[in-house]
Amino acid sequence: LDRSVIRDPDSAIRHLQRFADIGVTLAIDDYGAGLSSLAYLKKLPARELKIDKMFVMQLTSSNRDPLIVRSTIDLAHALEMEVVAEGVETPSALALLTVMGCDMVQGFLISRPLGYDGFRKFLDQNSLFDGAQGSPSFARPESFWKRA
pLDDT digits (tens, 9 = 90+) for 65-103: 999 999 999 999 999 999 999 999 999 999 999 999 999
Res 73: pLDDT: 96
Q: What is the CATH number of domain 25-111?
A: 3.20.20.450
Res 4: pLDDT: 56
What is the C-alpha to C-alpha distance for residues 29 and 52, in angstroms, rounded to an integer?
Answer: 7
Which one of 80, 82, 86, 89 is the catalytic residue?
A: 86
Instruction: Report domain extents, the chain.
Output: 25-111
Res 59: pLDDT: 92
7 compared with 94, residue with greater pLDDT: 94
Q: Which residues lie closer than 8 Å to 83 by C-beta, 6 or more apart? A: 48, 49, 50, 51, 72, 73, 76, 77, 101, 102, 103, 104
The answer to whether 82 is a known catalytic residue is no
Output the pTM of the full model.
Answer: 0.73
Highest mean pLDDT pick, 80-94, 108-122, 133-147: 80-94
